Structure formats: structure tokens, C-alpha cells
Amino acid sequence: MGLRIRAKEIGAQASRGISLLIAIFGLSLAGCATAPPQQFSPSRQFVFERDTFSFPNSLEKIRFYDSRGNWVVRKINPRPPYTLHCFVVSRSVLQFFEHATFAPELRKVDDETYFKLVRKVVDTDPRVMLPDDEKIVIPGYADLRSFSKAKEQVLKDACGGAWQSYLQRGHWRMVLPFSRTQERRVGHRLLDEVTHNQPAVVHLVRFPSLSINHAALIYGARKVGDNEIEFKTYDPNTPQLPATIHYHPNDGTFTMATNDYFPGGRIDLYQVYHGIFY
């Protein structure tokens, strides 16, 4: 009798454990469609020429179509020193927009002080914007573009290592299927956020092929025709000019043109650095 009772207790505990795991999994899926509310709305628009880094996240390999139409991949030798930082760079640009203010009228400080200020910026939560009177002041420079041009190494050292791109907590999401209904929700939310001056970091992926596995920051949108929206994008690999991600609401798809790391075509996309699970 005692053994049967004990077996029932163990079975009940196991059932509760399974139920808890299912609930957690369900919440994790819901996390793709929900985000914590911003405490404060941005007081200004994101400007590419002002609010982005001047230096690139360099490529380890160059990719291109050859004369026969084959997609060719070649290593870059010697390997550039600053690679695999796309998530770090995209997240840091968002954090500077949300948490920092530049004061060119103030005296410039030494690199050690700038390093500490940058660390303070990137240690803040990218999901919640600081009010203007609490923003971290960067003295001596007018904007992030000029600051990163003058203090490139300080920013590279302070913003974080490439391991943070590998261990970004939302990577688990890319192994699950992407439905067109879900992608429509993502597109609708991105459109709403950038319309309200809130840039968004996104993970661009095709799994399991991994023809693309990249992070970028969407900061604006323009409607083109009845079934296309062009999302203005800061791509850490190409800081010279804005990139474009195309969204097709009727189809629930995102696409990108051919570039130095992607052969072009459909991509799956979801927002990161914004919710409990991402």
C-alpha cells in the first residue's frame, strides 16, 4: 500500500513538473508577440548619420555570385580584428539612443573616463528608455557617429566581446518554425514602434541553412505600393549607408537584396532585446 501511495505521489509530482514545463514553453512562444511597455517615449527621431557607429562589424568571409551564377564563399586573409559583433553593435547603438545624451559644449575627458561612460551605457536595460534627466552624458562630442570616429577602440573595447553575439538569450527562437501569421505580427509591431520613434534590434535568420544569421537595427519605414513596406535599417556590416529590409504584409514575408554576406531572398525575422525571453 505504501509503495502504491508513494508511486502516486511521484506521478503527481512528475505531472506537475511537465505542466510547468509546458506553461514555460507556452510563455516563451508568447514572448515573441509581447514586449514590456516603454516607460518613456523617445523625444526625437533616430538619424542614421548621427546615431550610428562609424566603424563596421567586419566580415570574416566575402560572398558573391560568380560569372556562372554560383554563390561563392571566400575567407578574408588576414582576418579582420573586429568581427562577429553584429548583435553587440546593434544593441549598443540602441542603448546609446535610449540612454545617452551628447554634450559637445563640455570639455573632452580621457579615454579611461570615456570607457567607464560607455560601459555605463551598455550596462543599462535596452528594453526600457531612460528619461532625459537621467541619461548618461557623453562630453565633448555632438553625436555617436563623431564619438565613434574619434574613439573607435574605446567603444570596441567597452561595448562587449563577440561571445555576447553567440550567447544572446533569444537565439533559441530561430530553431522553431516561423509562420506567416507570426511574421505579420512582427511586421505590424515593428511598423508601430518605428512610427513612434522606437528603433528595434532584429535577428535575421534562415534555419537550418543559416544562409543568414545576423543582427541589425530597424529605425524607420516607408510604404511602397499596396503590399510592400521598406524598413530603414542600420546594418553593422555597412555603416556607410542605410540598408533596406522589405516587408510584404499580404504574404507575411521579409526579404533582403543580395549583399556581401547574403545571396538575397526571403528571411525570417524576429525582435530581440525587447522581451522577457529575448
| Burial class of residue 99, CB neighbours in 10 A (0-12, 13-18, 19+) | buried
- Among 28-37, 104-113, 124-133, 197-206, name the most confident range: 104-113
DSSP-assigned beta bridge partners for residue 272 = 201
Q: Is the pLDDT of residue 191 over 50?
A: yes
Nearest Cα neighbor of 133 from 40, 254, 218 is: 40
The whole-angstrom separation of Cα 266 and Cα 31 is 23
Q: Alpha carbon of 215 to those of 15, 89, 203, 205, 229: distances in Å?
A: 39, 9, 5, 9, 19
Tens of pLDDT, residue by residue over 50-91, are: 999 999 999 998 888 888 888 888 999 898 999 999 999 999
- Residues whose CB is less than 8 angstroms from the CB of residue 141 and which lie 6 or more positions away in sequence, other chains included: 102, 104, 108, 147, 150
CB 131 within 8 A of CB 40: yes
Nearest Cα neighbor of 60 from 214, 199, 174 is: 214
Computed over every residue of the chain, the mean pLDDT equals 85
The whole-angstrom separation of Cα 30 and Cα 275 is 10
Q: Is the pLDDT of residue 200 over 60?
A: yes
pTM listed for this prediction? 0.83
The three cell numbers locating residue 157: 573595447
Give residue 6's pLDDT band: very low, low, confident or very high (50, 70, 90): very low
Tens of pLDDT, residue by residue over 35-46, are: 444 555 567 899
- Ranking 97-111, 201-215, 235-249 by mean pLDDT, the lowest is 201-215
Q: Is the pLDDT of residue 165 over 90?
A: no
